[in-house]
Structures are given as structure tokens and as C-alpha cells.
Structure 1
Amino acid sequence: MVAPDRIDRRLIDRLHGELPLTERPFADVGLELGISEDEVIERLRRMLAHGTLTRFGPLFQIERAGGLFVLAALEVPEADFARITALVNGLPEVAHNYRREHRLNMWFVVAAESHEAAKAALAHIEQLTGLKVHAFPKEREYFVGLRLTAQE
């Protein structure tokens, strides 16, 4: 990972939670920051390529479109953690994955276009890993807003 410079940090802060809904949003953000539209786009591409950012894009309420988010967990043997992580993270339905200090030590979110596709993705993960997937479908939605600003 490449450490973000001052402009990268300002760009991340500016885009966290809000992209202008205009014809040229990156040009508008660039104008605010004193850089060009092309530089905004190139900086985002670079940060994504180097792992400074893991994702850049909108958040959707997938259930409103008939889809489903499922929080899931695996009990992964420590010696096999890296291999299982690569398998799980390699699936397009896996939104994110994180390690826990618990018997169920790998947690991830499956996002799918339908309930059937979510079930199929979870079954595929069991087949790929040889491990039982513990699925926890969302019963209620909470919004937790967390915004961390970069230090200059």
C-alpha cells in the first residue's frame, strides 16, 4: 500500500459520503480541491490499485431491488486462514470480509441480486472451502454513520 499524500487525504475526506449529483462530479470535486477532473480520476484509480482504497462506489439498499445481504461466518482452521480468505474474497458476491477473535473467526457479507442467488453463493462457499457457512440474514437495518477525517 502506498501512503496517501495531502491531496489524496483531502480527496478521500471530500468524497466520503457524498459525490455531487452533477453532469461532471469529478470536475466539480477537482475544482473544490484545486486539481483537474483527470487528476481526481487518476488519484482514485491509483489509490484503488495500490490498496489505499478498497472500494469506491455507491451503497445501495439491495433489498429494495429484490436482492439480499447476508452476514455469514466460517470457523476457519488457523493454518488454512490465508487460503480460505483468498477463496472467499475471490467471489464477486462477497462484499467484504473480516477476521474475528472467536470460534467463528471469519465474517463476511454476501450481496446477491435475489434470495436464490444468495443461497447459491453461500452453498458455493461451503463447497469451495469444505466448511459450514453460518448465515445470518438481516432482520432489521440500522444506520451507523462513521466519518474519520485524515490528519494533515
Structure 2
Amino acid sequence: MELDELTARLIDRYQHGMPLCAEPYVEMAQDLGCSERELMACLQRLELAGALSRIGPVFDHCRAGASTLAALAVPAERLEQVAARISRYPEVNHNYAREHHYNLWFVLTGPNRRHLEQILDELEKDTGLIPLDLPMLTAYRIDLGFALGVHP
């Protein structure tokens, strides 16, 4: 996907630090020198191109409850079905396929560790697959972003 100037500036400026206000898209549009309608059209193009999957906050799970990285070894013919089942949980913020014995990975976030264990137990009963549960022991904040160098 080739990026027009507005798209490049939007990505460069708002990979981090979305405005915390009642109308963040209005404020973003003003900052970028465009209309809210143009901004929303830009975001829609990114989504339709598969370049944008989510807009939202990233929480420090230790302050908000509990979190774990989990994986399943799913037979290839069941991968889409099991991924769709996992995605129905609001506690799952994303899941993705990998080329490995454990080929479906997902992150669970909830109010406490027991809640996460209940979901993993439920998934095991529903799918017949045993989840690999990898709770974080040490947090490393990498603040990943890719500066395009187009925003002053």
C-alpha cells in the first residue's frame, strides 16, 4: 500500500499518544490539518487494506488485573474454527497463527488470575486442546513504533 501524505502523517503522529478527550478524532484532524471526515476516510482505507486492525489503548495489565500469553496446538483443518471460538471472548485482545507446533497464540486479560484460568479451562473443554499458559513474569516496555519521519 502506497501512503499518501495524510496517511503517512497520521501513522507517524498517532502510533502513540492518541488524545484523551471526548472527541479524539476531531482533535487528531485539527492537529493534522484535515477534516474529521477525511481522517475517518483515511482510517477506513487503512482498515480495508489490512494495514490497520485496531485503534485503542494498551493497558498496563498489572494495574488493571491479570494477563497471560497462551497458545494451542491446533490441527490445521480446525485452525479457523478454534480461532473464531477464542475471538468470542472479550478478554482476548488478539490471536494469531504461527508456523510452529503451537500454531495459535492469543493474549488473555481479565480481572484476576482465577478468571483467566477459568477461560483456559473452558477453552480446553470446548476444543479438546490443552492451552499452553505463559503468564508474564517480568514486564519489558519496548514502546514499539515505526517513525516515518514525516511529522514535524
| TMscore range, shorter length | 0.7 to 0.9
Determine the C-alpha separation between the residues in 2 that align with 1:110 and 1:16.
23
Q: Residue 103 of structure 1: SS of its match in structure 2?
A: coil
Q: Deviations over 1:48-72 (max 9, x none)?
A: 476432111111112213x111111
The answer to whether structure 1 residue 106 and structure 2 residue 101 are counterparts is no
Alpha-carbon distance between aligned partners in 2 of 1:111 and 1:141, rounded to the nearest angstrom: 15
Residue type of the alignment partner of 1:36: S
Question: Cα–Cα, structure 1 residues 150 and 91, in superposed 2: closer, same or farther, change >3 Å?
Answer: farther
- Counterpart CA distance in 2 for 1:116 and 1:78 is 30
Q: In 2 relative to 1, CA 78–53 (structure 1 residues): closer, same or farther, beyond 3 Å? A: same
Match of residue 29 from structure 2: 30
> 1:138 offset after TM fit, Å?
1.1
The normalised TM-score by structure 2 is: 0.80
In structure 2, the CA distance between the partners of 1:112 and 1:22, relative to structure 1 (3 Å rule), is closer
SS of residue in 2 equivalent to 1:55? coil
Preserved CA contact (<8 Å) 1:71 1:109: yes
| Identical-residue share of aligned pairs (%) | 35
Query: In the TM superposition, what is the alpha-carbon distance from 1:121 to its structure 2 partner?
Result: 1.5
Q: TM-score, normalised by structure 1?
A: 0.80
* 8 Å CA contact retained: 1:9, 1:150: yes
Structure of higher RCO (CA pairs closer than 8 Å, 6+ residues apart): 2
Secondary structure, in 3 states, of the residue corresponding to 1:147? coil
- Using the TM superposition, name which of 132-141 and 12-21 deviates more: 12-21
Give distance in 2, aligned partners of 1:123 and 1:23: 39
Of 35-44 and 129-138, more deviation after overlay is shown by 35-44
Does the 8 Å contact 1:4/1:52 carry over to 2? no
Q: Is the 8 A contact 1:19 1:25 kept in 2?
A: yes
Aligned-CA RMSD value: 2.6
Q: 1:5 to 1:61 in 2, by over 3 A?
A: same
Unaligned ranges ≥5, structure 2: none
- Is residue 94–residue 108 contact of structure 1 (8 Å, CA) maintained in 2? yes
Aligned residue pairs, count:
149
Measured against aligned partners, the alpha-carbon deviations of 1:30-79 in whole angstroms (never above 9, x if no partner) come to 123221234334543564476432111111112213x1111111111122
2:73 corresponds, among 62, 69, 75, to 75
